[in-house]
Structure 1
Amino acid sequence: MQETVSTEAPLIPRAALFGNPSRRGAAISPDGRHITFLAPLDGVMNVFIAPRGALDQAKPLTHETKRGVPFYQWAQDSGHVLVGRDTDGDENFHVHAVDITTGHARDLTPHENVRAEIAKLSLQHPGEVILSHNARNPQFPDLYRVDITTGAATMITENPGFAAFAIDDDFNVRCAIAFQPDGSQITLRPDPASGWVPFLQFAPEDAMISGIEENFAPDGTTLIRSSAGRDTSALYRLALDTGEQTLIAADDRADIGGVLVDQITKAPLAYSVNYERNRYVALDPAVQPDLDYLDAANIGDWVAQSRTDDDKLWVIGSNADTAPGAAYIYDRTAKSLEKLYDSRPELADAPLAAMHPVIIEARDGLKLVSYLTLPKGSDAATPGRPSRKLPMILLVHGGPWARDEFGYNPYHQWLTNRGYAVLSVNFRASTGLGKSFVNAGNNEWARAMDDDLLDAVDWAITANIADPARVAIMGGSYGGYATLASMTRNPTKFACGVDIVGPSNLETLLATIPPYWESIRTIFQRSIGNPDTADGLALLRDRSPVHLADRLARSLLIGQGANDPRVKQAESDQMVAALKAKGIPVTYVLFPDEGHGFARPENNIAFNAITEQFLAAHLGGRAEPIGADEISRSTAQILEGADTLR
């Protein structure tokens, strides 16, 4: 039995951290008259609408009864909201247009097994939308111009094999993007005589972080991001007739992030850069007072997540490490900020812990931007350093082409509240930190990418943060793979591990990617390994944890969604079967109504309840008892290891 972790902080209920938020995802109608947001209706997240300034009059606009709304967006006519919907996490999204007056919902993509996305909305065509969907060809979605009121649809571009399109405000398809077998990215434009003609190319090392923007200006230019000739991705203005590029903004630490543009002229007004923290920088002096006001408002890192057509009102989303997200209306004329809501008001007095950005040096000198959170009060004498060594969770992000960021993180808060230090590491291949960093992960799954994680753990041990005998590894998607890979590669490094929807066999992972990812298959092959070559196939097999199952020496918990289109259930099934064949115990929880992760709060809470008991047994942390119906209210099927949870 492990040493028990003590802390004076009261236990934060799992339901308060992982249940439905009271509200989230606020947006303002283009005309500024209405506010929408997601909120629970009979326990399921739905779109609500209210007059601006009267949120107490909010009423539901959608009526989902099982699975919450995954995404929504205002149509430019201010009379409809476009709402996404899939079935049990299968990611075959349909787009529905909901009339805000009548509540009538029309499926704009009424096809079987279709995956649809909103491709373009425009002030110039407020009653229409460009949708992309793959009804014709599952691999390559076409573009359709759709009347939002009637649903009448006309194909405007048939996709011959491209990864994406760029569309201007008059709904002209100006460019297409394609990835070549060598990993390079080509931008093409339509030519009446020759079809699609290449006019811009990014080398393989630049392709992941470079590309054209959908900001086609009346003067014949657009914006692009490019790392060509430099390490981080910079913002340029591209002359479409000559190809001339003019540098607008760059940062040597990180790629240019979000870009705020004028909605008519498409001139860039400001950009953001996220190294340790996310910060906006003005390009147009007219927005400098707005940035100054919002930076001084003490709301944490912020983003303008919705704007009116006249750009006088912004919906601001805030993100602070010890305050779950809030939303505000920012009036640019009055320079005033009106809070719309706190997403989780029940956590207002909870003992949330501060997050500390840290830069950890990998063994080859690469700088790893990381985030450490410690149990409340454990570092009272020296912030960021506990008074004694703690059990620690290495929490690995998914992707791997994503990144960890500063701000409120429910997993950090949950686990630190239970007595653990939590460390999240932007290992090589993480995005936003330049092309050298992202490309350093090529062919390095379960090698240098794992070394980065090991180096971060060793840093925490050397700094007297982590007890080396009580370190766990946990993550979802790529983070789940990293858990399996590191526990088989380094059998005694971790006391236990939690794999959530992680691939175990890279060969079968690549063989079963969703059909709509076919256009980016070369990215996977260049980064992970090419199964069409003998060396590539050998690499994939060598880096697949399923083939190393007999090396596993510590306890493992696996969670999987049965409808996952990205990491199929077979990935977890294979690993469990391999472990059973070697007589190695494993706990395996399957959710038949989930996909790539656990979207339904009942399921997420159930899996986290199981995880909490699992971690407490192996690391000695605190655990909230499992409620009488906490598992039964979910769809959890404990296929292996049920006896270990009693």
Structure 2
Amino acid sequence: MAPPPPHPPAARGGPPPGWRPRGGAGPPPPPPTPLADFFDNPAFSAATLSPNGKFLAVRYNKDNQRDRLIVIELASQAVKVVASFADRDVGNFQWVNNERLVLDTTDNTVGPGDERYWPGLYAVNRDGARFRQLVQASGAFLQNRVVASNILPANHFLVEQTGAQTSDDVYVTNPKRDGIHGDGELQYVNLLRLNTVTGRSETVRRPGPAMGWLLDHKGEPRICITLDKNIQTTWYLDPANNQWREIAAFDAYLGGKDAFTPLAFAPDGSLYVTSARGKDKQALHTFNLGTLQISAEPLVMLADYDFSGELITTRDKLLGVRYLSDARSTVWFDAKMKTLQEAIDAAMPATVNLVELPARAEAPWVLVRSYSDRQPERYLLYNVDTGKFNPVGSTHERIVPAQMAAQEAVRYKARDGLTIPAWLTVPNGGANGGRKKLPLVLLVHGGPWVRGGEWRWSAASQFLASRGYAVLEPEFRGSTGFGKAHYHAGWKQWGLKMQDDLADGARWAITEGIADPGRICIAGASYGGYATLMGLVNDAALYQCGINWVGVTDINLLYTGHWSFASDMSSGYLKYGAPALIGDPLKDAAQLRATSPLMQAARIRQPVLLAYGAVDRRVPLYHGKKFVEALKEHNPDVEWVVYQEEAHGWSLPKNRIDFWSRVEKFLQRHIGMARAGAER
């Protein structure tokens, strides 16, 4: 079955784009949304139904206090705070069964560099009774010390997959790393079955150096993925004899014709996988565990996108599949669910509405996650008997959707003919509403071997649009999710064709009349930061300024590192993956020098904003320090900021707000209205 890719629903009602009242300017526009409303921590952040659908667990804080775990009995609307901490926030949580929940913790008030605790793990009944600590929350130096009976050391972590939800057991992982303090390279990952009432645990026998695990539909370990050098092997725990047997092996970094990724087990025991089967796009298939063959025909295949999604099941039936094209959508195999989806969509036609079901429904409620490009994610309960909605909460309560900008999926041609998907966000009243030649921020995603975006509300792009900037976010070659050819076209193209794709996107926006050619800034984080700097080198006449946060400044530094700080990239990736994907430090030495922002720093004369985290292990601080020292020798217009407690991105609201306030002022000076006024 191959459903057509969905298109984001159009908002209904209201005046047409660009409409203005006659006979006057009309009322003044509302003031821009405060910056903190985009980048503060949400008061409401998650919700999930109990297996029987009678209770709703919610993570929530009141008046910017600590995140707490709350359980609501839906029949009576009774509310109970079941877990809260004076010095920490509730983190991940899930239902163990209808009576019991499990949760870990975090600390939203400190950055990674100041963390005092590991996540820990706790269990509690839905009425707050029988609270028990299962895993320590002490620092790394205490990870091998057990301080109480049946409490696991701190280096144990909750598995996100739900178990059978019919017992008191859950599964946790125990990563084993080398190094004196156990903070070195990952060697393998143990899986343990843990009883949330007694605290007793049992380690699952693994077939080798495990890196990943998959539970079956009954919540039992069934798939183990091991890694030996560059070979990834998939093992199946055969219930017939309780023995592991190999079902596939291929290159972990480069893939191959027969490569697949296990996705999930259906209630009937069928294994579903994603695979291209020698074609360009990944699709959803079944995998025959007897013949070890992938099904010839896919269950779901998309014309323009790799399949990325999940199965939707109850405990005894496969109901549908959720997938991502330009937006998220659901194909229902179950007629009742298809009718239910149609009713919900009719009531909320301007949003994507994702229906989440309890495993064994004994009540009429389903949970709906609803969002659009203008509407941040919000949760609602829907009563299938009455057809009524009951709002639960929104992740950004102060955001007014009517004041947000429209986002559009667009495609343009690169200079060599390759089609580049991109996301375009234009301010209200912008290019499609009558205004032309807007200042443009070319926002480059990190990775780079990931998909950058999808049709939904984004804090960064909406904030920039609220300040009057058009935002273009290209899915340049090398991005995943758009087929093998698009992905492979980016191999060894850092600073080369990947860079051309970005410049071609900016020129497309100029040709379309969207962008003012004299007011374009390139910006991005991680790989996006690297691309920002190389953009200033390669296309100096195109970009008036650049913003790089936590960006790579020299490809060779990824390999050689620095005595002061170790990167968290594995030696296996650096040996087997990076040379093929990015470049070999010996064979491609000349190319890596030519595409090094550090080596080309003297050519960058535009204004640059640089921001780094002091405890970043993905792109350690020395990337930024070496570059800013080289840049300041020739460029007087450099702004430099280091967030001492941050790692690879900004975890604290105060730092997000500080950084984006710097971005706002920087853009205003160089491509904003201040620049436009100076040029008149």
- The CA deviation at 1:60 is 7.2
The answer for unaligned runs of 5 or more in structure 1 is: 1-6, 624-646
Change (3 A) 1:465 1:84: same
Equivalent residue in structure 1 for 2:204, among 143, 151, 156? 156
2: CA distance, partners of 1:70 / 1:547: 42
Kindly indicate whether the alpha-carbon contact (under 8 Å) linking 1:251 and 1:273 is maintained by their aligned counterparts in 2. Answer: no
Q: CA RMSD in A?
A: 3.4
- The CA deviation at 1:253 is 1.5
Equivalent residue in structure 1 for 2:83, among 61, 70, 74? 61
- The CA deviation at 1:145 is 1.7
Asked if 1:12 corresponds to 2:33, the answer is yes
Larger Rg computed on CA atoms = 2
Change (3 A) 1:310 1:142: same
Q: Which amino acid aligns with 1:289?
A: T
Alignment of 1:422-437 (within 5 A): 422-437=471-486
Identity value in percent: 26
2: CA distance, partners of 1:185 / 1:420: 45
1:393-439 Cα distance to aligned partner (Å, 9 max, x none): 11122222132111212222211221111111111222222222222
TM-score, length basis structure 2: 0.80
Specify the alignment match of 2:271 in structure 1. Answer: 222
Which shows bigger deviation, 275-284 or 512-521? 512-521
Specify the alignment match of 1:199 in structure 2. Answer: 247
2: CA distance, partners of 1:134 / 1:314: 36
Kindly indicate whether the alpha-carbon contact (under 8 Å) linking 1:76 and 1:121 is maintained by their aligned counterparts in 2. Answer: no
Specify the alignment match of 1:288 in structure 2. Answer: 338
2: CA distance, partners of 1:422 / 1:349: 18
1:333-379 Cα distance to aligned partner (Å, 9 max, x none): 55543321233332237622222221212223222222222222234
Change (3 A) 1:470 1:243: same
1: CA distance, partners of 2:649 / 2:568: 19
Kindly indicate whether the alpha-carbon contact (under 8 Å) linking 1:445 and 1:543 is maintained by their aligned counterparts in 2. Answer: yes
- The CA deviation at 1:518 is 5.5
Specify the alignment match of 1:388 in structure 2. Answer: 436
2: CA distance, partners of 1:358 / 1:505: 31
Specify the alignment match of 1:123 in structure 2. Answer: 164
Specify the alignment match of 2:447 in structure 1. Answer: 399
Change (3 A) 1:301 1:350: closer
Specify the alignment match of 1:466 in structure 2. Answer: 515
Alignment of 1:379-528 (within 5 A): 379=431, 382-383=432-433, 386-400=434-448, 401-510=450-559, 517=570, 522-528=576-582
Which shows bigger deviation, 307-316 or 83-92? 83-92
2: CA distance, partners of 1:282 / 1:108: 39
1: CA distance, partners of 2:357 / 2:589: 46
Asked if 1:248 corresponds to 2:291, the answer is no
2: CA distance, partners of 1:567 / 1:295: 43
1:428-468 Cα distance to aligned partner (Å, 9 max, x none): 22222222222222111221221111111000011111111
2: CA distance, partners of 1:207 / 1:185: 14
- The CA deviation at 1:517 is 4.7
1: CA distance, partners of 2:648 / 2:258: 23
What is the DSSP-based 3-state SS (H/G/I as helix, E as strand, rest coil) of the residue aligned with 1:248?
coil
The answer for unaligned runs of 5 or more in structure 2 is: 1-27, 141-154, 179-184, 676-680
Which shows bigger deviation, 498-507 or 222-231? 498-507
Q: Which amino acid aligns with 2:135?
A: L
What is the DSSP-based 3-state SS (H/G/I as helix, E as strand, rest coil) of the residue aligned with 2:602?
helix
1:125-154 Cα distance to aligned partner (Å, 9 max, x none): 531221112246550222122222343333
Specify the alignment match of 1:74 in structure 2. Answer: 95
Specify the alignment match of 1:603 in structure 2. Answer: 655
- The CA deviation at 1:561 is 1.9
Kindly indicate whether the alpha-carbon contact (under 8 Å) linking 2:236 and 2:244 is maintained by their aligned counterparts in 1. Answer: yes
Asked if 1:546 corresponds to 2:587, the answer is no
Equivalent residue in structure 1 for 2:672, among 620, 631, 634? 620
Kindly indicate whether the alpha-carbon contact (under 8 Å) linking 1:430 and 1:438 is maintained by their aligned counterparts in 2. Answer: yes
- The CA deviation at 1:212 is 1.0
1: CA distance, partners of 2:540 / 2:138: 48
Q: Which amino acid aligns with 2:169?
A: E
Kindly indicate whether the alpha-carbon contact (under 8 Å) linking 1:418 and 1:622 is maintained by their aligned counterparts in 2. Answer: no
Kindly indicate whether the alpha-carbon contact (under 8 Å) linking 1:20 and 1:40 is maintained by their aligned counterparts in 2. Answer: no
1:551-609 Cα distance to aligned partner (Å, 9 max, x none): 21111111222222322222222222222345554212111222221121111111111
Equivalent residue in structure 2 for 1:97, among 122, 140, 143? 122
Asked if 1:340 corresponds to 2:397, the answer is no
Equivalent residue in structure 2 for 1:364, among 410, 416, 424? 416
- The CA deviation at 1:103 is 8.6
1: CA distance, partners of 2:222 / 2:395: 39
What is the DSSP-based 3-state SS (H/G/I as helix, E as strand, rest coil) of the residue aligned with 1:327?
strand
Specify the alignment match of 2:18 in structure 1. Answer: none
Kindly indicate whether the alpha-carbon contact (under 8 Å) linking 1:41 and 1:60 is maintained by their aligned counterparts in 2. Answer: no
1:160-210 Cα distance to aligned partner (Å, 9 max, x none): 43432223255553333246766x754233589998653224573558994
- The CA deviation at 1:300 is 0.9
What is the DSSP-based 3-state SS (H/G/I as helix, E as strand, rest coil) of the residue aligned with 2:599?
helix
Asked if 1:302 corresponds to 2:353, the answer is yes
Specify the alignment match of 2:135 in structure 1. Answer: 108
- The CA deviation at 1:105 is 5.8
1: CA distance, partners of 2:255 / 2:559: 21
